[in-house]
Amino acid sequence: MKMWSGRVSQPLNANFERWQRSFRFDWRLLPYECVASRAHARALAAAGILSSGELDQIVNALQALEGRVAPGAAPGEPSDAEDVHHFVEQQLVAMIGEGGYKLHTGRSRNEQVATDLRLFTRDAIDELRAQLFALAGALCDRAEQLGETAMPSYTHLQRAEPILAAHWLLAYPQMFLRDAGRLAECRKRVNVLPLGSGAVAGCSFPLDRRAMARELGFDAISANSMDAVSDRDFEIEFLNALALVAVHLSRMAEDFVLYCSVEFGFVLLPDAFATGSSAMPQKKNPDAMELLRGKAGHIAGAASAVLLTVKGLPLTYNRDLQETQEPLFAAADATRDALRIAADFLRAVEFDCDRMHQAAASGFLNATAAANYLVRKGMPFRRAHEVVGRMVRKCLEQGCTLESLSAAERGEFSELLGEDFPAALELGCVIAEHNVAGGTAPRQVKAALAEVRASLQQLQEASFAHA
Ligand code: ARG
């Protein structure tokens, strides 16, 4: 039986009937629908609307239903349910008879779906935060293993200054920790209970909303029933946070795509994450990283889809809001899978440290250090820049390096270029010079690594206590 059969006299157009159903995707809300329904049943009983016998029957039936469906799997039984709310009602009635209908007293699917979606999003946030921490942890491990291996940094994708490879890898946990912070912020606004809002105007029975909130782990109850049944800000905020996660993953993936090419050769693609070409037998392609890069389009698209669905909707509930579910589920799934692949890839990837070192030691990456040498001897940087620029030009003509110029050759450029000049241009020296907090000097990188690990530890403990 439809949940609204009294009002209409004709059956639905068969195509429309199929088309408007949401059970095909909203079965994923089933565990949330069950716990939220249980809280509602208890509130009805406390308000004297259900007898304690009726309450027991309903609670037991909901528990049985929850237990019957494997977590994360669609319910096995064939169903003509319109949506997950209808499905639960059908199952209850099948289990306990007429009493099953009593659950739908003083409530509306409008508040139910808002509640279920908040519970889903809250769980997704907790899971994704744990995955962000795991990925950041994997990056820390690899950074630590790289020790003092040097590599070039890039600006404009041109070689810039030499850095520690660990410094490069440790840039990413910063992004992922910000992402986790954004999700934690978003969680505060997600964790507000809509139940008790009724269809639009608030429940007509004296339900204890705070008791329902406590039971379901919500920190607060919504303040306005009209807002509560029509608000999807929390989805949009969550999806935008995911879009940034995906963008960060795409940038990291792109670094790996570049660095595993022969042109860079810093990274050895693990066989377990590479594919071949059906046409070119010699090829090994970084598909894992390319797909990771590509996911950003799909995930950011979900954020736009929901934002545009909500735009211009009159208050309050409108069926359009059903369209926000699929992008929400798809983006949460895609982000979860992408984070898992990224962490697995990072654990498996190998680095060609010699090649990185060579690239950092050539190509005049110590030119800035040469100018800084002159600055320390008293020359204004602008002049020093000019002098070193001319020196580089000469070296390019002669096919030599700045540090291999003889004392006499150096002397033609500036008498400030002393005996200690070649030593100051050694790779280790150049890197160690960047000795400010956040810089690439080995002691700074070591401190940064320890700091990231400490934050991770703290965050993991805090979210464990939370869950
Ligand atoms: N499947 C619906 C949705 O996702 C549930 C709410 C239906 N409410 C209604 N008044 N038709 O939005």
Distance from residue 320's CA to the centre of ligand 1 (Å): 9
- Residues 212, 43 contacting (CB under 8 angstroms): yes
Res. 279: pLDDT tops 90: no
pLDDT digits (tens, 9 = 90+) for 408-459: 999 999 999 999 999 999 999 999 999 999 999 999 999 999 999 999 999 9
Res. 384: pLDDT tops 90: yes
164 φψ region: left (φ > 0), alpha (ψ -120 to 50), beta (else)? beta
Kindly state if the Cβ of 321 falls inside 6 Å of ligand 1: yes
Kindly state if the Cβ of 81 falls inside 6 Å of ligand 1: no
Other beta carbons within 10 angstroms of residue 331's beta carbon come to 27
**Band (251; pLDDT cuts 50, 70, 90):** very high
Distance from residue 39's CA to the centre of ligand 1 (Å): 20
H/E element holding 413?
none
Distance from residue 3's CA to the centre of ligand 1 (Å): 11
Kindly state if the Cβ of 110 falls inside 6 Å of ligand 1: yes
**Predicted local confidence at residue 280, as pLDDT:** 80
**Which residue in 277, 362, 404, 466 is the catalytic one?**
277
Distance from residue 69's CA to the centre of ligand 1 (Å): 22
> Looking at per-residue confidence, does 324 or 277 come out higher?
324
Kindly state if the Cβ of 427 falls inside 6 Å of ligand 1: no
Q: Which of 2, 29, 109, 309 to mutate to test the pocket of ligand 1 (most atoms within 8 A of CB)?
A: 109
Res. 54: pLDDT tops 90: yes
**Predicted local confidence at residue 77, as pLDDT:** 74
Work out the average pLDDT over 238-249. Answer: 98
**Which residue in 5, 156, 278, 406 is the catalytic one?**
156
Work out the average pLDDT over 314-337. Answer: 98
**Predicted local confidence at residue 319, as pLDDT:** 98
Other beta carbons within 10 angstroms of residue 131's beta carbon come to 21
Average pLDDT, the chain: 95
Question: Is the model's pTM score more than 0.75?
Answer: yes
**Predicted local confidence at residue 1, as pLDDT:** 66
Distance from residue 316's CA to the centre of ligand 1 (Å): 12
Whether omega before 316 lies within 30 degrees of 0, making that bond cis, reads: yes
φ, ψ dihedrals at 193, nearest 5°: -85, 120
Q: Whose CA is nearest to atom 12 of ligand 1?
A: 322
pLDDT digits (tens, 9 = 90+) for 111-155: 999 999 999 999 999 999 999 999 999 999 999 999 999 999 999
**Predicted local confidence at residue 71, as pLDDT:** 80
* Percent of the chain surpassing pLDDT 70: 99
Determine the Cα–Cα distance for residues 263 and 4; give it in Å rounded to an integer.
65
Tokens read off for 269 = 């693609």
**Band (49; pLDDT cuts 50, 70, 90):** very high
Determine the Cα–Cα distance for residues 176 and 140; give it in Å rounded to an integer.
12
Atom of ligand 1 nearest to the CA of 324: 4
Tokens read off for 144 = 């630590």
CA–centroid distance for 439 within its chain: 26
Res. 4: pLDDT tops 70: no
Query: Is 277 an active-site residue?
Result: yes
**Predicted local confidence at residue 147, as pLDDT:** 97
Query: Is 404 an active-site residue?
Result: no
